[in-house]
A and B are shown apart, each in its own frame.
Chain A
Amino acid sequence: MTATIETPPVATQAAKQCRRPSETRVPGQQRAVVVLLAPFAALCLGVFVVPAAYAIYLSVFSQLHSGLGFGNGRTVFVGLHNFVVVLTDPSFLRSIGVTLAYIVLFIPILVVGSLAFALLLDSGLARARQFAQTALFLPHAVPGIIAAIIWLYLYTPGISPVLALLYDLNIQVDLLGQTLLIPSMVNIALWGGLGYNTVIFYTALQAVPREVMEAAAVDGAGAVRTALRVKVPMVRASVVTVGMFTLVGTLQLFTEPMLLAQSTPLIGNRFTPNMYIFDAAFNRSNYGLASAASVLLLVLCCLLSYAVARYSSRGARA
């Protein structure tokens, strides 16, 4: 545990290299740095570094429960055993499958949808652009659990005006049934995220130089052609960044399925990886297993954020 907190020798070396004479050091700055940075550093240690290290530590131990209660079990070092158990557990693999199905549906619709709205808003043909942006963004201000409550009720027969309307048209759908469950969950996330990403893409599009568009127009490109062939490639970096951030976000899928689980038996206790962790820790008190699953997710997120960082810095240089 301590090894992670102490600065490794390589890092110290790098820090020394950092201190070049060209960087100005203000006399008396040390006190300011310590005072102003201390609260954040303490939080970083307490809320991020120590829990992450503790999760890694816990993941290589198993608790043998001899009796009741919390902390009474005997703790045994098991190496990578918990990781093997998680990775071969069918319910964990199923939760990964659910997440993948969700991602495959959600990310393309979100990215294409918000890019389309941004391009339409940017096309110069749209009226009331400010209003449309505010309206589209507004669902993002709605807390996730409340968005889930609203949509759950819109999916519930007897309460939902949408289902009543469809019923009048002789269409009966079970929005929380086997086929539509994941699309129904995607819709909740889409509702919250569409406007947010539209604003991001719209801002990126506004930064595309006017001359480029004029040149395209002179060359005889129509609005659609300009949008797809000229504008989209120029905001490619922000499209990729948004896609990656969304991907990391979907790995955390928890709030919506937890709420929907109250109304459909199809969502079990281990429906998504995060629900699996929650179930392992708080229903089964298997901290080793929960920690191993957490560490796996943590590593995945780190890899993805590394990819984002690599890609964004390359985009910035270009």
Chain B
Amino acid sequence: MTTTELGGRVRRGTRAGTIATNVVIAAGTLYALLPLLWLLLAATKNAEALFSSNLLDVANFDLAGNIEALLDEDDGLFLRWYANSILYAVIGAAVGALVSTAAGYVFDKYSFRGKKQLYALVLISVMIPGTVLALPMYLIASRLELANTMWAVFLTVLFNPFGVYLARIFATGYVPGEVLEAARVDGASELHIFFRIGLRMLGPGFVTVFLFQLTSIWNNFFLPLVMLSDEKLYPLSLGLYSWNSQATITPEYYPIVIVGSLLALIPLVVAFLMLQRYWRSGLTAGSVK
């Protein structure tokens, strides 16, 4: 038995325990990373090498060829999907996060009639799967002649009750009431206080909500599937899905789908690696009470 001091915590453990612990964690790490490594390697292979399944053979390196084939497919449709995804996700998350942050701030800082009921609605809608409401939303959208337009997807993804919930928690933590009182004494209007002081103090909260919403819009599959029939309006998720359905008939699509998938997940993985602390704060604020 040894007593070790690690991370400020006193623990007892045996050598065997240490080895077993690290073996299991290493196995988990490999389980998480190997499929991504496979995607990375497979994306560099030409079609024949992909099927010969000799993944580590560098002789068949043809990443550039695959990317070229991807961009050539259907007159550069992939780039259009990429642009659509960026448009839906970046602008949608920015506008949506602002809407959610403002609402969360109001819920935390003001008392008004019907607040409890409205907030209860927020909490209920956090748990409601969007898929359940997709059909009535589609029918409403088609009545308003919004179905099969970018607006049908864009307007819908702005609604983020989980963002309101997170923003309220952040408003409690980051914006002290005294600051608002001081601003009021100085004669600032309530709106001025929010945009000039509250929003600035809520910066990290805004980034967290933005990040969570960005991911969920980038991942969104069901809603565009229901709303869009014109493939020029597709986001990446739906586009890759439709190309994958071709791959089972025409195997030439396999390398295209693989390299397309790799390119489609790069922005999210990079964002995650750079902004880990925001993820963590959102995750723990939202899930552990």
**Is the CB of A76 closer than 8 A to any CB of chain B?**
no
Interface residues on B, range: 35 or more
- Cross-interface CB contact of B117 among A11, A19, A242, cutoff 8 Å: A11
B288 and A204: CB pair below 8 A? yes
User: Inside 8 A of A141's CB, which chain B residues have their CB?
Assistant: 215, 265, 268-269, 271-272
One digit per residue, 1 when the CB lies within 8 angstroms of any chain A CB and 0 when it does not, for chain B 214-238 equals: 0100110110001000000000110
| Chain A residues within 8 Å of B121, by CB | 44, 48-49
Which residues of chain B come closer than 8 Å to A49, judged between CB atoms? Answer: 121
Bound together, the chains give a CA A248 to CA B222 distance in angstroms of 16
B25 at the interface (CB under 8 A from A): yes
Is there contact, CB below 8 Å, between A308 and B106? Answer: no
With A and B bound together, what is the CA distance between A203 and B284 in angstroms? 7
Task: Given A141-B269, A195-B32, A242-B287, check contact A48 B125 (CB 8 Å).
Answer: yes
In chain A, what residue has the closest Cβ to B55?
Answer: A161
B194 in the interface, Cβ–Cβ < 8 Å? Answer: yes
Name the residue on B nearest A274 (C-beta): B131
Contact yes or no, B241 A223, CB < 8 A? no
> Who on chain A is nearest to B280 by CB?
A199
Decide if B102 is an interface residue (CB 8 Å cutoff): yes
Query: In residues 50-95 of chain A, which contact B (Cβ within 8 Å)?
Result: 50-52, 54-55, 58, 70
Q: Check if A291 is an interface residue, CB within 8 A of chain B.
A: yes
In B105-150, the 8 Å CB interface with A consists of: 105-106, 110-118, 121-129, 131-133, 135-140, 142
Q: A26-B184, A191-B32 are in contact. Are A262 and B248 (CB under 8 A)?
A: yes
Q: Name A's interface SS.
A: helix
Among the listed stretches A100-108, A177-185, A294-302, which one makes contact with chain B, having 4 or more residues with CB under 8 Å of it? A294-302
Docked Cα-Cα span, A15 to B116, in Å, equals 7
Across-interface contacts of B88 in A (CB, < 8 A): none
List chain B residues, Cβ under 8 A from A238: 287-289
Q: Are A138 and B116 in contact (CB under 8 A)?
A: no
In the complex, what's the smallest C-beta–C-beta distance from B185 to chain A, in angstroms? 12
CB-CB contacts of B234-255 with A at 8 A, as 1s and 0s? Answer: 0011001100110010000010
* A17-61 at interface with B (beta carbon < 8 Å): 18-19, 23-26, 28-33, 35-37, 39-41, 43-44, 46-52, 54-55, 58
Mind listing 21 A-B residue pairs with CB under 8 Å?
A11-B117, A18-B113, A19-B113, A36-B106, A40-B103, A43-B99, A44-B118, A55-B132, A70-B142, A134-B273, A134-B276, A142-B268, A144-B221, A164-B53, A199-B283, A213-B9, A223-B17, A241-B287, A259-B241, A298-B132, A301-B132
